[in-house]
């Protein structure tokens, strides 16, 4: 077997490769191509012409992956393959380009603290080394590494370049330039000047370098036409700055870094990189500040990572400052960061704020205003509709602004249509807002709160909520449109956290009416999704706001809502207190409809206490107050609740009568959730009456409606009832199956009724058949004022 180590240049190496083919029995190029394909990374079909080219004398470079695959296909063992690989890398390093150029290694040094980015490295290297299976010449590979300021684009690009060269790729020429696209002291580099410098480095005498940018670009492309060149263009301002710096040769690679999107560049493959993971963040802290300091204070280290929001530059500056202050504890520095986040992220003469300043100054003034206003938004993310309200601009302008901010990597879009600010950029935007405030400091929050009420009211109506009286006409200026129940429910699912944050900001700004209205429009969603723990704080804040506004009607409405939440959470003392306070106010202001609503909730509380007769009395009083057409829904709720308590008192005929009346009203109003609950109650009553066929049919109908409404609670309750009906009929396998499904759904919601489903499953383990009575299962529950 020939010794590849004897090769002193590329020509000798190619000759020895031919000798190796002879040693292996002179397989045909077609056979060798079939055998080499599986050894490529990744495995692929290799053209016989591609293999034949590797054995041609006079080549100026070889594909290292292809050479290794050919050597393996020729039967060389692992140690031998390693020697051939090493020799191939060596001769490429010594190769001549046919002119006075030689090998230019201009890459910046790698940082010893480079951390993580394994997936990004793999993806970039694979893109750089990919070859067309056909064997035809490929176009130049252009990879643009994009991301926000401080995310580590340059370090990643430098590491990729060094890894490629170490592996024997692009060994003829490596050129590098900092294009200064974002530099506080000097303007971006002129492409014509960069071309002149590159041509000089490629051996072109100064007197032969053309004057015009176009002619320089042409000469540059000609010089690199057959070279295995790697061009690293760091910190690009835009597509125009780099367009003429891209060679045309198919053996070249161009790596570009930029804070802006370069999607407009022909043939570019964008690689957007994000912040570090928690593990990578802690690893960088350890590398710079010292492993022992980080491991000694893990909680403080985690706080520092959170305050830096995993931004590599912020972490590196913080770690470097800690390294220069060995007497500081991590906990002390975490406290400093909590007190002054951006000010604390610095080391020596470097800081994070000037880095953000460069990105901000590159924006046009209308876009600067939008970015500043995002500092007013208290929620986790935002949409074009939310921004349109916040900035008081048309929706199409808001969408265009978000697209531009995303192209500048000042915001990110992890979910279609929803955008986020990095925490440090959020803090930076808030600082800008303080430095350049709006004429009315509360106006942005007021616009957000107005949007939340108007759009929330439209979404609530779409999912079946009754209209909220007192919503000012001005608040309908920019409401969302919801064509279906699902759209309304999805809006609340997506905006729930934003609504809570906006309500809190409105409370701090003294916008009391907005505060309680934001709670009011969410009530139907809260009940549908059974999210009482989360909504409790929202409702409590609404009560305080209504009191601060001096609006007794609003206070009673919010107290009634608070009582409804309390009794659903089985907090009966708090529920009773809220209901009685609401009832007292309604009687004072002489509001019969309000009194009825409070009585409905109070009746539910008494029923849960086991005072069923008292509940029936309270609900009858409520019904006596509900006569006008606008009260039909509240009347249906009172009837449905009274039916529940009549059944518990053993008055089954009255229970059926009340519930059927409620069902008829719900159907007239097209209130599908109320209809589903009423059907479930009727199914239960039929089960009590041992009319199992009717019970099965009604529970099946209830489950179908629940699926249409995406109402997990009602669906689970229907399954629970179906299981009871199967158990009563002696169908225990079917009963267990239904209970298991119900248990899964209740657990998914963390709902207390999961215990009832689990109890039924546990009981069936040891007791067959099951003697069933209604007390073994949580029977239908009463509903709240006007909204089941």
147: tokens are 């991301």
Q: Dihedral of the CA atoms 395, 397, 399, 405 (nearest 10)?
A: -150
Residue in the block written with tokens 């029936």: 616
d(CA 688, CA 493): 37
Q: Which of 193, 248, 251 is closest to 220 using CA atoms?
A: 248
pLDDT bin (cut points 50, 70, 90) of residue 773 is very low
Residue range of the domain that includes 36 = 4-94
d(CA 426, CA 380): 10
Give the list of residues 6+ apart from residue 22 with CB closer than 8 angstroms, or none: none
pLDDT digits (tens, 9 = 90+) for 218-274: 999 988 887 889 999 999 989 999 999 999 878 899 999 999 989 888 888 899 999
Predicted pLDDT at 133:
38
Looking at 36, 67, 94, the residue that finishes a domain is 94
Does the pLDDT value for residue 100 go beyond 70?
Answer: no
Q: What percent of the chain has pLDDT over 70?
A: 92
Predicted pLDDT at 479:
62
Contact 294, 285 (CB under 8 A): yes
| Domain co-membership, 585 together with 459 | yes
d(CA 604, CA 260): 59
| Domain co-membership, 429 together with 440 | no
Residue 480 has what DSSP assignment? -
Calculate the average pLDDT of the chain.
87
Q: Specify if 632 maps to a domain.
A: yes
Q: Is there a cis peptide before residue 42, judged by omega within 30 degrees of 0? A: yes
Residue in the block written with tokens 């974002």: 182
Residue in the block written with tokens 């669906």: 715
Phi, psi angles (nearest 5°) of residue 323:
-65, -35
pLDDT digits (tens, 9 = 90+) for 409-449: 899 888 888 999 988 899 899 888 877 777 788 899 999 99
Q: Specify if 647 maps to a domain.
A: no
Q: Specify if 787 maps to a domain.
A: no
Residue in the block written with tokens 């007794």: 552
Looking at 641, 671, 692, the residue that finishes a domain is 641
| Domain co-membership, 347 together with 380 | no
d(CA 387, CA 477): 14
| 100 conformational bin, left if phi > 0, alpha if psi -120 to 50, beta if neither | alpha
Q: Specify if 240 maps to a domain.
A: yes
34: tokens are 């079939």
Predicted pLDDT at 220:
92
| Domain co-membership, 468 together with 583 | yes
501: tokens are 């944050």
509: tokens are 């700004």
pLDDT bin (cut points 50, 70, 90) of residue 69 is very high
| Domain co-membership, 582 together with 690 | no
Predicted pLDDT at 507:
96
Predicted pLDDT at 19:
86
| Domain co-membership, 88 together with 124 | no
- Give the CA count within 13 Å in the CB-facing half-sphere of 222: 11
| Domain co-membership, 140 together with 209 | yes
| Domain co-membership, 425 together with 471 | no
Does the pLDDT value for residue 642 go beyond 80?
Answer: yes
Residue 630 has what DSSP assignment? G
| Domain co-membership, 243 together with 134 | yes
Residue 86 has what DSSP assignment? H
67: tokens are 């050479």
Q: Specify if 99 maps to a domain.
A: no
Predicted pLDDT at 96:
41
Q: Specify if 194 maps to a domain.
A: yes
| Domain co-membership, 452 together with 580 | yes
Does the pLDDT value for residue 32 go beyond 80?
Answer: yes
CATH of the domain at 597: 1.25.40.10
Work out whether strand 253-258 and strand 229-236 pair parallel, antiparallel, or are unpaired. Answer: parallel
Arithmetic mean of pLDDT, 173-179: 90
Q: Which of 573, 534, 539, 537 is closest to 559 using CA atoms?
A: 539
| Domain co-membership, 79 together with 155 | no
Contact 362, 408 (CB under 8 A): yes
pLDDT digits (tens, 9 = 90+) for 577-636: 999 999 999 999 999 999 999 999 999 999 989 999 999 999 999 999 998 888 899 999
Q: What percent of the chain has pLDDT over 90?
A: 53
Does the pLDDT value for residue 643 go beyond 50?
Answer: yes
Looking at 417, 435, 453, the residue that finishes a domain is 435
Q: Specify if 649 maps to a domain.
A: no
Predicted pLDDT at 474:
46
d(CA 517, CA 470): 9
pLDDT digits (tens, 9 = 90+) for 339-378: 887 888 988 888 888 889 988 988 998 999 999 999 889 9
Q: Specify if 425 maps to a domain.
A: yes
CATH of the domain at 371: 1.10.10.10
Residue in the block written with tokens 């590329």: 10
Work out whether strand 173-178 and strand 104-105 pair parallel, antiparallel, or are unpaired. Answer: parallel
pLDDT digits (tens, 9 = 90+) for 537-562: 999 999 999 999 999 999 999 999 99
In the chain, the number of structural domains is 6
Contact 241, 179 (CB under 8 A): yes
Q: Is there a cis peptide before residue 700, judged by omega within 30 degrees of 0? A: no
| Domain co-membership, 227 together with 330 | no
Residue in the block written with tokens 């019970």: 695
Can you say how many angstroms the Cα of residue 143 is from the centroid of all Cα atoms in its chain?
25
CATH of the domain at 191: 3.40.50.300
Give the list of residues 6+ apart from residue 776 with CB closer than 8 angstroms, or none: 759, 760, 763
Work out whether strand 412-415 and strand 418-420 pair parallel, antiparallel, or are unpaired. Answer: antiparallel
Which string of b and e fits 357-372 if b means at least 16 CB within 10 Å?
A: bebbebbeeebebbbb
């Amino acid at each position: 077997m020939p010794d590849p180590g004897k090769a002193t240049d590329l020509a000798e190496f190619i000759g020895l490769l031919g000798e190796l083919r002879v040693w292996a029995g002179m397989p045909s190029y077609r056979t060798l191509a079939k055998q080499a394909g599986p050894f490529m990374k990744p495995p692929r079909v290799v053209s016989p012409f591609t293999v034949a080219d590797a054995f041609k004398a006079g080549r100026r470079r070889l594909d290292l992956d292809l050479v290794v695959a050919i050597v393996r296909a020729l039967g060389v063992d692992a140690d031998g393959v390693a020697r051939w690989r090493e020799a191939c890398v060596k001769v490429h390093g010594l190769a001549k380009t046919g002119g006075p150029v030689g090998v230019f290694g201009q890459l910046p040094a790698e940082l010893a603290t480079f951390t993580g980015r394994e997936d990004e490295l793999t993806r970039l290297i694979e893109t750089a080394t990919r070859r067309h299976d056909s064997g035809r010449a490929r176009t130049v590979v252009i990879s643009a590494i994009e991301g926000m300021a401080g995310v580590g684009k340059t370090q990643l690009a430098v590491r990729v370049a060094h890894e490629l060269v170490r592996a024997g790729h692009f060994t003829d020429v490596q050129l590098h330039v900092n294009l200064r696209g974002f530099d506080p002291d000097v303007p971006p580099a002129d492409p014509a000047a960069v071309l002149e410098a590159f041509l000089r480095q490629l051996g072109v005498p100064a007197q032969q370098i053309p004057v015009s940018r176009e002619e320089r670009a042409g000469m540059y492309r000609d010089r690199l036409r057959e070279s295995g060149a790697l061009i690293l263009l760091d910190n690009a301002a835009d597509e125009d700055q780099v367009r003429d710096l891209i060679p045309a040769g198919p053996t070249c690679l161009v790596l570009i870094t930029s804070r802006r999107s370069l999607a407009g560049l022909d043939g570019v493959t964008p690689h957007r990189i994000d912040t570090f993971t928690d593990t990578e963040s802690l690893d960088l802290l350890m590398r710079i500040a010292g492993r022992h300091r980080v491991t000694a204070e893990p909680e403080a280290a985690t706080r520092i990572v959170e305050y830096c929001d995993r931004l590599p530059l912020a972490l590196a500056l913080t770690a470097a400052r800690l390294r220069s202050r060995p007497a500081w504890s991590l906990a002390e520095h975490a406290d400093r960061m909590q007190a002054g986040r951006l000010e604390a992220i610095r080391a020596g003469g470097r800081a994070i704020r000037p880095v953000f300043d460069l990105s901000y100054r590159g924006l046009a003034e209308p876009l600067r205003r939008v970015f500043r206003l995002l500092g007013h938004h208290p929620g986790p993310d935002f949409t074009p509709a939310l921004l349109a309200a916040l900035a008081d601009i048309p929706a199409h302008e808001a969408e265009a602004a978000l697209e531009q901010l995303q192209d500048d990597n000042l915001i990110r879009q992890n979910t279609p249509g929803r955008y986020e600010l990095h925490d440090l950029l959020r803090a930076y935007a808030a600082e800008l807002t303080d430095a350049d405030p709006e004429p009315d400091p509360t106006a942005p929050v007021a616009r957000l709160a107005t949007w939340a009420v108007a759009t929330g009211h439209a979404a609530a109506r779409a999912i079946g909520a009754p209209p909220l009286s007192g919503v000012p006409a001005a608040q309908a200026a920019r409401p969302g449109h919801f064509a279906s129940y699902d759209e309304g429910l999805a809006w609340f699912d997506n905006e729930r956290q934003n609504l809570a944050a906006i309500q809190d900001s409105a409370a701090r700004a003294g916008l009391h009416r907005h505060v309680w209205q934001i709670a009011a429009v969410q009530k139907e969603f809260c009940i549908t999704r059974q999210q009482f723990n989360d909504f409790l704080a929202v409702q409590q804040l609404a009560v305080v706001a209504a009191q601060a506004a001096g609006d007794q009607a609003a206070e009673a409405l919010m107290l009634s809502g608070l009582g409804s939440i309390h009794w659903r959470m089985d907090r009966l003392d708090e529920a009773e207190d809220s209901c009685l306070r609401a009832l007292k106010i309604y009687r004072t202001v002489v509001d019969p409809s309000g009194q009825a609503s409070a009585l409905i909730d109070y009746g539910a509380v008494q029923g849960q206490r086991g005072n069923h007769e008292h509940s029936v009395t309270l609900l009858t009083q409520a019904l006596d107050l509900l006569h006008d057409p606008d009260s039909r829904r509240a009347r249906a709720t009172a009837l449905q609740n009274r039916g529940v308590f009549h059944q518990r008192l053993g008055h089954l005929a009255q229970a059926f009568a009340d519930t059927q009346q409620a069902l008829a009203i719900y159907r007239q109003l097209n209130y599908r959730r109320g209809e589903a609950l009423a059907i479930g109650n009727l199914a239960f009553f039929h089960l009590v009456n041992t009319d199992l066929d009717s019970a099965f049919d009604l529970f099946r109908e209830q489950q179908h409606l629940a699926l249409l409404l995406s109402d997990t609670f009602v669906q689970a309750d229907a399954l629970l009832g179906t299981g009871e009906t199967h158990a009563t009929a002696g169908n225990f396998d079917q009963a267990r199956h239904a209970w298991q499904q119900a248990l899964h759904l209740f657990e998914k919601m963390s709902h207390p009724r999961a215990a009832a489903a689990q109890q039924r499953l546990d009981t069936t383990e040891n007791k067959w058949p099951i003697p069933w009575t209604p007390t073994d299962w949580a029977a239908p529950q009463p509903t709240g004022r006007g909204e089941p």
